[in-house]
Amino acid sequence: MTFCLLLLSTVALTAAVPVPRALTRAAWPEREPVVALWVWQCMVATVLLCCLTALALGTAAVFGTVRAQLFAPAPPSVTEAYDLSAAPAWAAALSVLLACGAAWTTAMLARELVEARRRRGQARAHLRERAPELPASLGSARGPLLVLEDEYPDAWWMPGSPPQLIVTTGALHRLTDHQLDAVLTHERGHAQARHDWLLHLSTALATGFPRIPLFAHFCDQTHRLVELAADDTASRRCGHLTTALALIELNQHRGVLSCSSTNRLLGERVNRLLQPPPRLSHRHRALTTTLAALVPLLPLLITFAPGLTALG
């Protein structure tokens, strides 16, 4: 079991420190933001699985009751293969540390979901003030697209039940039909890919563990990559130039092409649309996706290897 814990720790540290730093320096994620998002999620899943499996093994080694429950269906040869009785002294400290980490992660996720629900409720309340529901006698229900009377050009997707796409009259006046289609397609791209859930997850992990490079970079890159992915969705339907012009028109008042840090991402998105980078080959995309999907299997393979060897 000691060897399993050491291997799990090595895999977790590798995925948590050097891998995210290499990913942030790589150039290919800008060419394939969807694939990059998948790779980031697989790295996070790998670290979380390493922690969960190490917690299970460490707890089973320290507490006989947990060991009896965890290995109850297994034959004696499998239990003997893990050699739980010879657990090192640091296994107890590791188990306590991982248990605290699991509890803290759960608390951060719960807090993020509660906060998101609260913010969504406030946004919907503000929306009802600006666009109140019509009387039921008129038989007109609010649809998925809502137009607000506002000279400020804006458009956004509000998740929830039911989800709504909101666009202001300022955006309608400023954008051409094709540009408006690009903006709406961009927002629908966020909704269809459920980017809101991915943002909640990355924010919760970065808030709970800000000093872990994987979670900090995961949050930063997720906020960036989801916008690039939605831009690609819009550009495939409406064209790169139309999408870039729509982005400029919609954000011109924010200084989309300024050098300030708050608007740097907007400028990068416009430049990327005006000079789109070449996509990776289909073979390269498939290979990267497959390899990333196999990485989270490493902690499972390490954990179950002694038992499978005993059975074989």
160-182: per-residue pLDDT in tens? Answer: 777 788 899 999 999 999 999 99
Q: Is the pLDDT of residue 232 over 90?
A: yes
Q: Assess contact for 140 and 134: CB atoms under 8 A.
A: yes
pLDDT in tens, 45-55: 999 999 999 99
pLDDT value, residue 261: 46
pLDDT value, residue 8: 95
With bands split at pLDDT 50, 70 and 90, how would you rate the model's confidence at 37?
Answer: very high
Q: Is the pLDDT of residue 221 over 70?
A: yes
Rg over alpha carbons for the chain, rounded to the nearest Å, is 24
pLDDT in tens, 65-106: 888 888 888 888 888 888 877 777 888 899 999 999 999 999
Q: Is the pLDDT of residue 258 over 80?
A: no
Cα(44)–Cα(256) distance, rounded to whole angstroms? Answer: 32
With bands split at pLDDT 50, 70 and 90, how would you rate the model's confidence at 144?
Answer: confident
pTM: 0.91
pLDDT value, residue 142: 56
Greatest C-alpha distance within the chain = 75
pLDDT value, residue 135: 53
pLDDT value, residue 92: 87
Least confident of 29-38, 85-94, 122-131, 248-257: 248-257
Q: What is the mean pLDDT of the chain?
A: 89
Q: Is the pLDDT of residue 259 over 80?
A: no
Question: What mean pLDDT do residues 265-273 have?
Answer: 91
Higher pLDDT: 76 or 303? It is: 303
Top mean pLDDT of 25-29, 67-71, 261-265 is at: 25-29
Q: Is the pLDDT of residue 139 over 60?
A: no
Q: Is the pLDDT of residue 255 over 70?
A: no
pLDDT in tens, 175-219: 999 999 999 999 999 999 999 999 999 999 999 999 999 999 999
Question: What mean pLDDT do residues 254-261 have?
Answer: 53
